[in-house]
Amino acid sequence: MTTHSDKDRVVIFDTTLRDGEQSPGASMTLEEKLEVADLLDLMGVDIIEAGFPIASNGDFEAVSEIAKRIKRTTVAGLARAINADIDRAGEAVKHAAKPRIHTFVSTSPIHLEFQMKKTEEEVLAIITATVARARGLVPDVEWSAMDATRTPIEYLCRCVDAAIKAGATTINLPDTVGYATPDEYRDMFRQVRERVANSDKAIFSVHCHDDLGLAVANSLAGLEGGARQIECTINGLGERAGNAALEEVVMAIKTRGDVLPYATGIEATLLTRASKLVSAVTSFPVQYNKAIVGRNAFAHESGIHQDGMLKNTQTYEIMTPASVGVSKTSLVMGKHSGRAAFRDKLKELGFELGENAFEDAFKRFKDLADRKKHVYDEDLEALVGDEIDTGQDRIKVESLTVICGTQGPQLATLTLSIDGNHKTIQASGNGPVDACFNAIKALVPNEAQLELYQVHAVTEGTDAQAEVSVRLGENGRSVTAKAADPDTLVASTRAYLGALNKLMMKNQKGRGEMMRAV
Ligand code: KIV
Ligand code: ZN
Name which residue sits closest to atom 7 of ligand 1, judged by CA. 144
pLDDT over threshold 60, residue 331 = no
What does the pLDDT read at residue 115?
Answer: 95
Q: Domains of the chain (ranges plus CATH)?
A: 6-282 (3.20.20.70), 299-388 (no CATH), 393-517 (3.30.160.270)
- Full strand arrangement of the beta sheet holding 466-474: 449-457, 466-474, 477-485
What does the pLDDT read at residue 332?
Answer: 60
What does the pLDDT read at residue 518?
Answer: 37
For 80, how many CA atoms within 13 A lie in the half-sphere containing its CB?
Answer: 7
Each residue's pLDDT tens digit, 200-248: 999 999 999 999 999 999 999 999 999 999 999 999 999 999 999 999 9
pTM: 0.82
For ligand 1, mutation pick of 49, 101, 207, 209 (most atoms within 8 Å of CB) = 207
Each residue's pLDDT tens digit, 124-145: 999 999 999 999 999 999 999 9
CA 294, CA 502: separation in Å to the nearest integer? 29
pLDDT over threshold 50, residue 266 = yes
Each residue's pLDDT tens digit, 287-327: 989 999 998 898 776 777 777 778 888 888 899 999 999 87
308: phi then psi, degrees, rounded to nearest 5: -60, -45
Minimal CA–CA distance to 102: which of 231, 189, 5, 201?
A: 231
For ligand 1, mutation pick of 23, 103, 110, 144 (most atoms within 8 Å of CB) = 144
Cα 362 to middle of ligand 2, angstroms? 42
pLDDT over threshold 80, residue 476 = no
What does the pLDDT read at residue 493?
Answer: 97
**Ligand 1 atom with minimal separation from the 19 CA:** 8
What does the pLDDT read at residue 83?
Answer: 98
What does the pLDDT read at residue 458?
Answer: 82
Note whether 199 and 173 are within 8 A (CB). no
CA 209, CA 236: separation in Å to the nearest integer? 9
DSSP letters, 59-102, are: HHHHHHHHHHH-SSSEEEEEEESSHHHHHHHHHHHTT-SSEEEE
**Ligand 1 atom with minimal separation from the 22 CA:** 8
CA 38, CA 72: separation in Å to the nearest integer? 10
Cα 479 to middle of ligand 1, angstroms? 26
Rounded to the nearest 10 degrees, how much is the dihedral formed by the CA atoms of 200, 206, 207, 209?
150
Find out whether the beta carbon of 49 lies less than 6 Å from any atom of ligand 1. no
What does the pLDDT read at residue 90?
Answer: 98
Mean pLDDT, the chain, whole residue set: 90
CA 52, CA 518: separation in Å to the nearest integer? 41
Each residue's pLDDT tens digit, 91-100: 999 999 999 9
